[in-house]
Amino acid sequence: MTRALALVIVLATGMVFLFAFVIKLILSPRRVEALGTLIKQGKTQAAISSARRLIARDSKNAEAHYYLGLAYHTEKKEEEAYREFKLLNQLSIQGKLIPEMDYRQTLAQLYEAHGENEEALKEYLLLIKLAPKRGEFYLQAGRLFAAKGKGDTAREYLQKAAELSPKDGNVYYELGALCYKEKKAPEAKAALERALRLQKEGDQGRTWFYLGKLQKDVKDYGGAQDSFEKAARDAEFRVRALVEKGGCYMAQNDMTRAAGDLERAVGSIKDETGADSLYARYFLGLCYEKGGEIDKAVAQWERVYAQKKGFKDVGEKLSRYMLNKAQTISP
């Protein structure tokens, strides 16, 4: 074989590899873009299958991991989405076909859903750097700082959120809730009332709840009862709001009406282990006790005792009434 022929073969081979490399560069973005298109079209299973094939060929394909996680998230398969997005966070996304703000916002939500509030907060702080004019990111950061007990820092972020998003009622709800917890009643009331003016009716439950707490604290029981009844329309706050409303009647020594709302609270219980559930049954027992319905009171306290033996004086009450019952039936 002549040198010339050998050189031609080498050059030809090089050209083939170069051509294959160029084709791969051209097709890879198209494949990635196709995954996004499939998800937008609602074809999430096809997107999942395609993303998995790409990952099988290259386990560090950041775009494939992103769209796989996004497809899982769209299907509400949060554990799988969480796994992919956390894995992606360990890879470099710089220069990749990944919308960083969308990715980090979803990742923050997934972190929080899994109780990793610190990691969620880090993501929102990164988002603020990426988009310093987006009030929603300051809102989420402020809310998480408040949950950490860092009230001053939380207020700074929430006030910035109010400056950037003055028509977002959720900002004023968070400010109101923070001020309530810090016992700043006038500021809390003003923020909560502003939140109610801005929020849609279906989003007002938690705001009515804290406004009711403020009213109850100053013994405005009529106003508090109205607020708690409105808060009870929100499934998340229903049991808690009805317990508070029942408490307003108990404070006025109206045990019959109190029992009515507490029975509604007990009927709405989804999680027997929750603090709201324990209080609902405990206070309902007190109402029954006051009305002389001891068996019904004991039945409620037994349910509380089964979940938490050291809850308030429930153990003492059960011991006393069981002893009385034993003494009554003994010869």
CA pseudo-torsion sign 126, 133, 63, 16: negative
Classify 55 as helix, strand or coil.
Answer: helix
Q: What angle do the packed helices 169-181 and 205-217 form, to 10 degrees?
A: 30
Question: Mean pLDDT, to the nearest integer, of 43-53?
Answer: 90
Of 54, 108, 43, give the one whose Cα is nearest residue 82.
Answer: 108
Tens digits of residue pLDDT in 149-196? 999 999 999 999 999 999 999 999 999 999 999 999 999 999 999 999
* Structure confidence at residue 33 as a pLDDT band (50, 70, 90): confident
| Contact predicate 318/305, CB 8 Å | yes
The structural architecture, per CATH, of the domain 214-331 is Alpha Horseshoe (1.25)
Tens digits of residue pLDDT in 125-146? 999 999 999 999 999 999 999 9
DSSP H stretches of helix in the chain: 3-40, 44-57, 62-74, 78-90, 100-113, 117-130, 135-147, 151-164, 169-181, 185-198, 205-217, 221-231, 238-251, 255-267, 275-290, 294-307, 314-329
Q: Rounded to two decimals, what is the model's pTM? A: 0.82
